[in-house]
Amino acid sequence: MIKTIAQAWKVAELRTKMIFTFLMLVIFRLGSCIPVPGIDRSQLANMFNANESGLFGLFDLFSGGSFSNFTIFALSITPYITASIILQLLTIAIPKLEEIAKEGTEGRKKIAQYTRYLTVVLALVQAIGYTFGLFRQVIADNSALSKIVIILTLCAGTAFLMWLGEQINEKGIGNGISLIIFAGIVDRIPRGISHTLSAYRDGTVSIVSIILFVIFALVVVVGIVLVQQGQRKIPVQYAKRVVGRKMYGGQSTHIPIKVNQAGVIPVIFAISLLQFPLTITYIWPGTSFAAWVAKWLSPSGHPGVWIYVTLDIILIIFFTYFYTAVTFNPQEVADNMKANGGFIPGIRPGRPTVEYLNKVMTRITFAGAIFLAVIAAMPTLLQQWTNLSIGFGGTSLLIAVGVALDTMKQLETQMVMRNYSGFLK
């Protein structure tokens, strides 16, 4: 990784992209320190001291600490993720949206535009809920103007993060939204280590629990790297054909099918959906619905933790298959191979090829989905078996390592493209 970064730094264009990405992430971290106006900081600290874990921890994970400090980025990029989920589901359910999505670049631009509009709407709803619900006790000035300013500030923060992520996609390296979440997670690591050491000195966490977590973290990191890099290579043979006076084809290649084709997206999607009923309980506390959710659907409830983990596993498996189906189309791959005279040895072109690719993808995706589900669920279970409470668990490591690998892969791809370009010149 270090060698790749060093080589990429020597290329002027890639160096510019890397510097731009870094500066965008710096702006994100600086914005995470700007507080929302009209908030009583002492009451805010007391509220989070009483709710250090559970849902607050999940919100704080995605916002990089902005949620607990109630800064302008307190909503984080969660509304955008939720909007993306909704649009992708509607694309399958509504034929008109499906037609737009198949229009190529212009279709993707329209879907992206709809996603932005829906993000602003969801951010507005969430900001109103926080202002009049969860954070109503920490607002210093209860006037209508003060609350309007808070709502607009939170919405503007989410819109700015969405724009920041798109700028990274366009002018930087890697996926902008994923990198924003990655930056927030990495920023929490030093504080998590400090908190754990303090808990150890106070005697609330044993050395066995810390060693158990370190071993778990190392296993997770190694497992993530192996699964993210693992792939099934399906051989493809191209028949020889004569065009004019030249002969084309005859070479052998392969189709790389990754074990985890969906990356960390299923985990992010699953957490976003599981947060929804829990968010309502914090907006309207004290209701019978809030008590029911706290008992049955909360990661800190009993027996809610087991139901939460079960739903988390089911949603991750579902979104792994769903996102893989969106990003990999066996019919399109088979048609492209057939059009170029390619075939899988032992498999007839056309429908048999599609069925074979579907079978391979279904089996290999199951392994990747189970891995993601286990890694995401284990930290919650470990916290039930030990008193260890740390700011980064399996989900955090999964997202951080996955985003780092994806970013490095994009960097290597761009380097290869430029090397080939230079060679051809």
Structure-token pair, residue 223: 């497992």
Report residue 219's pLDDT band, with 50, 70 and 90 as the boundaries. confident
pLDDT in tens, 369-394: 998 888 877 777 766 665 555 445 56
Give the per-residue pLDDT at 378: 75
For residue range 92-109, list pLDDT tens digits in order.
778 888 888 777 778 888
Phi, psi torsion values for 75, nearest 5 degrees: -75, -15
Query: What percent of the chain shows pLDDT beyond 90?
Result: 13
Contact 140, 101 (CB under 8 A): no
Does the pLDDT value for residue 422 go beyond 50? no
Sheet of 231-238: strands edge to edge? 252-258, 231-238, 342-343
Domain edges within the chain: 1-194, 205-390
Mean predicted confidence (pLDDT) in 204-229: 80
pLDDT band at 118; cut points 50, 70, 90: very high
User: Is it true that 1-194 and 205-390 share their CATH fold?
Assistant: yes
Q: What is the pLDDT of residue 406?
A: 82
Minimum mean pLDDT range among 26-30, 111-115, 250-254, 403-407: 250-254
Return the higher-pLDDT residue of 4 and 115: 115
DSSP assignments along 334-376, one per residue = HHHHHHTTEE-TTS-TTHHHHHHHHHHHHHHHHHHHHHHHHHH
- Give 14-29 as a DSSP string: HHHHHHHHHHHHHHHH
The CATH classification of domain 1-194, taken from the options 1.10.3370.10, 3.40.309.10, 3.90.1150.10, 1.10.730.10:
1.10.3370.10
| pLDDT tens figures, 281-331 | 766 666 777 778 777 777 766 777 788 888 889 999 998 998 888 778 888
**pLDDT confidence of residue 156:** 94
CA distances from 96 to 71, 93, 107 (A): 39, 9, 11
Percent of the chain with pLDDT over 70: 85
Higher-confidence position of 234 and 43: 234
Q: Which CATH superfamily is domain 205-390 in?
A: SecY subunit domain (1.10.3370.10)
pTM of the complete model: 0.74
Q: Is the pLDDT of residue 147 over 80?
A: yes
Residue-level pLDDT at 50: 52
